[in-house]
Amino acid sequence: MHDIRAIRENPAAFDAALSRRGLAPVSSEILVLDESRRTKIQAAETAQAAANTAAKAIGAAKAAGNEEEFQKLRAEVATKKAEIAKLNDDAKAEDAKLHDLLMGIPNLPYDEVPDGKDEDDNVEIRKVGSPRNFSFTPLEHYEIPAATSGLDFETAAKLSGSRFVVMRGAMARLHRALAQFMLDLHTTEHGLTEMITPVLVREEMMYGTGQLPKFGEDSYQTTNGWWLIPTSEVTLTNVVNGEMLEADQLPIRMTSHTQCFRSEAGSAGRDTSGMLRQHQFEKVEMVSITKPEDSAAEHERMTSCAEAVLERLGLPYRTVVLCTGDLGAGMRKTHDIEVWLPGQDRYREISSVSVAGDYQARRMNARYRDGDGKPQFVHTLNGSGLAVGRALIAVLENGQEEDGSVTLPSALHPYLGGRTKVTPEGELV
């Protein structure tokens, strides 16, 4: 949500920032509605003052026995009350309309975010690690013999339909090991506090982080009004919903491993094979709540935390900054981390690390007291650390051998009872 005062002070800059997203100017519509609302509020206050004056005069007229003046003043007060009620109702309606309008406008990209139309215009920041040279043609994850018996898409389709998977045996344990490894790294070395949060949330929590009102079709809602979280960004960020924090409580750094649910409404026909794009998946999420002046450095820090997971796993990756055309609606700047998948012969996203500024905080009314004791909105940041299923894909594809086995990263060996590979038959050894 946007600060109406900032729009009043510099509407041209607001429209210019939105135009970088390819959106038409909206400041004039906002300011007309805002001015009308404020005019009605001021008129109601003026009318209330007049009514108060008349009400005081009623007593004097009554005491003086001036029945004519008494009745006149009573009628005047009644008229003013009706006028005030009408002005307040109109102002309230316009305030709700203004609120809905501001809630539906995307966040403003930072100046340093590159301009562009889509993912082809994203800018690479760095590339780490070199893709392995295979002596054979590498397979996609769902074709590797070591994985085929443990990734059961047919049973999942029988149970739930397309874009689901049943994992068994070595694949289930490897998936669990990856999540445990990520959590341990973030909590013991990166200073994040582990959280266990619900996967069902109230509707206002989805509004708080910006999934609603515009992106409801991308998520699932239960018949009694709860929403299934598309990511634990929703729950972790809303921990501070409605809170007034003290400056010394910041930064707050959290991580959580949860199931996530997405309808993938806008991805029909994309990545239908394997487990790259699923309706239900697991992710280790990172969320930070900071002071405004600290959020840029925190963004870099969180990016390095996500990159560290890939480095420990020995997986080649590249980090890009998203252009304005590919930037999420609620974010001011995003780093995407893309892991190398030899089966696809390309880099694919495995983490997005984003800074929202005070956009989510305004929606949640999440504030802190600065050094002068003045309430300020916090800044919120979130990032995948990492998507567990996609990490499994990357481990399988990068570790595959010509005989159909998979050699596993040394970082995972302690989580697998010392086992170092998956045989072509799907056994951990």
The predicted structure's pLDDT at residue 356 = 98
The predicted structure's pLDDT at residue 273 = 84
What does the domain layout of the chain look like in residue ranges? 4-103, 119-422
Rounded distance between C-alpha atoms, residue 425 and residue 415, angstroms: 21
The predicted structure's pLDDT at residue 146 = 98
Q: Do the beta carbons of residue 350 and residue 339 sit within 8 Å?
A: yes
Q: Three-state DSSP class for 214?
A: coil
Q: What SS3 string covers 49-96? A: HHHHHHHHHHHHHHHHCCHHHHHHHHHHHHHHHHHHHHHHHHHHHHHH
Q: Is 262 annotated as a binding residue?
A: yes
Which residue is listed with tokens 């998948």? 341
Q: Is 69 annotated as a binding residue?
A: no
Q: Do the beta carbons of residue 341 and residue 334 sit within 8 Å?
A: no
Helix (H) or strand (E) segment spanning residue 319: strand 317-321
The predicted structure's pLDDT at residue 267 = 62
Q: Going residue by residue through the chain (429 aa), what tens digit of pLDDT does each one get?
A: 899 999 999 999 999 999 999 999 999 999 999 999 999 999 999 999 988 888 888 877 777 787 778 888 888 888 889 999 999 999 999 999 999 999 999 999 999 999 999 999 999 999 999 999 999 999 999 999 999 999 999 999 999 999 999 999 999 999 999 999 999 999 999 999 999 999 999 999 999 999 998 888 999 999 999 999 999 999 999 999 999 999 999 999 999 999 999 998 666 666 778 999 999 999 999 999 999 999 999 999 999 999 999 999 999 999 999 999 999 999 999 999 999 999 999 999 999 999 999 999 999 999 999 999 999 999 999 999 999 999 999 999 999 999 999 999 999 999 999 999 999 999 999
Question: Is 312 annotated as catalytic?
Answer: no
Question: Is 390 annotated as catalytic?
Answer: yes
Q: Three-state DSSP class for 30?
A: helix
Rounded distance between C-alpha atoms, residue 125 and residue 178, angstroms: 26
Cis peptide preceding 386, ω within 30 of 0: yes
Question: Of residues 277, 318, 348, 419, which has the active-site annotation?
Answer: 277
| DSSP bridge pairs for 288 | 253, 381
The predicted structure's pLDDT at residue 67 = 78
Q: Three-state DSSP class for 283?
A: strand
Tell me which architecture the domain covering 119-422 has in CATH. 2-Layer Sandwich (3.30)
Question: Of residues 173, 253, 332, 390, which has the active-site annotation?
Answer: 390
Q: Is 122 annotated as a binding residue?
A: no
* List of residues 6+ apart from 151 with CB closer than 8 A: 141, 142, 165, 166, 167, 171, 274, 275
Question: Is 74 annotated as catalytic?
Answer: no
CATH of 4-103, one of 3.40.50.970, 3.40.309.10, 1.10.287.40, 3.40.50.720: 1.10.287.40
The predicted structure's pLDDT at residue 72 = 84
Q: Is 273 annotated as a binding residue?
A: no
Q: Is 350 annotated as a binding residue?
A: yes
Rounded distance between C-alpha atoms, residue 132 and residue 126, angstroms: 18
Rounded distance between C-alpha atoms, residue 255 and residue 258, angstroms: 10
Q: Do the beta carbons of residue 21 and residue 331 sit within 8 Å?
A: no
Q: Is 349 annotated as a binding residue?
A: yes
Q: Which of 245, 252, 254, 148 is nearest to 192 (CA)?
A: 254
Rounded distance between C-alpha atoms, residue 94 and residue 89, angstroms: 9
Question: Of residues 20, 37, 173, 262, which has the active-site annotation?
Answer: 262
Question: Of residues 243, 349, 401, 427, which has the active-site annotation?
Answer: 349
Question: Is 262 annotated as catalytic?
Answer: yes
The predicted structure's pLDDT at residue 387 = 97
Please measure the distance between the N-terminal and C-terminal CA atoms of the chain and give it in whole angstroms: 52
Q: Is 363 annotated as a binding residue?
A: no
Q: Which of 165, 187, 168 is nearest to 176 (CA)?
A: 168
Torsion (CA) 316, 314, 424, 419 in degrees, nearest 10: -170
Burial class (CB in 10 A: 0-12, 13-18, 19+), 133: exposed
Question: Of residues 219, 256, 295, 352, which has the active-site annotation?
Answer: 352
Question: Is 349 annotated as catalytic?
Answer: yes
